[in-house]
Amino acid sequence: MGNIVVAPVGSNIENVFVGIREFPTEKVILMATPDRVELAEKTKKELEKFKIPTQIREIKGDVWEGTFKAIADIKFIEKGKEIIVNPSTGDSGGAGCAACSAAFVNGLKAISVSGNKTTMLPIMKFNYYSLISDRKKEILQFLHDEKDCCGSLDDLSKRTGMSLPLISYHINGNLKSKGLKDMGLVETTEKKGRVRVSLSVLGRLLVQGYVDTEEKK
């Protein structure tokens, strides 16, 4: 059995052919924004010359949200199969970065292509969500549900019912444990001595379920 190769369609789409030379490929799934569908169709025809079945998944709306949802769905549909994400086929930034990040948080293999060489990226082979404690998950869910929160750590403390030191610990972490800020799941801004806390893009995508979680299985 070969690999399921997932690749965003961009200006570096030729890198998909370098990747499939290195890894036995059962199927290629191309992720294309509306302006890249024509290029995806052309690439599909080229891949099928090598008798590689190819699917096109159109990414509409926000490219980050669409890419995360697509990769989470693909992992669920192709459960039990080896999936390799090739972010190098996308543009430098945008869909390529989103695909790499989605591979990371979902514990999928990912490769980088430079010239005619491929390199396996150091992606975690376990669920990112499992690193987050229940209390941290509660904070993330609260920030997602309460859009007007929170103008300060004290405000977040009162509204979640957690003590201020505990909130600060979960947001900022310490020498032994990373906080939500260091994990890239929340963002903080300081104004007049008050620290505002909000979900990052990754935090929002995780809470919305676009990142694979143990609860979804």
Produce one character per residue of 184-198: b if its CB has 16 or more CB atoms within 10 Å, e if not.
ebbeeeeeeeebbbe
**Average pLDDT of the residues of the chain:** 87
Per-residue pLDDT tens digits for 8-67: 999 999 999 999 988 889 999 999 999 999 999 999 999 999 899 999 999 988 898 899
Q: Which domains does the chain have, with CATH numbers?
A: 3-120 (3.40.50.10770), 130-207 (1.10.10.10)
16 — phi, psi (to 5°)?
-65, -35
pLDDT of residue 87: 94
Q: Which two tokens stand for residue 66?
A: 């669409």
Residue 61: which region, alpha, beta or left (left: phi > 0; alpha: psi -120 to 50)?
Answer: left
pTM (predicted TM-score) = 0.76
Per-residue pLDDT tens digits for 65-122: 899 999 989 998 998 899 999 999 988 768 899 999 888 888 889 999 988 889 998 8
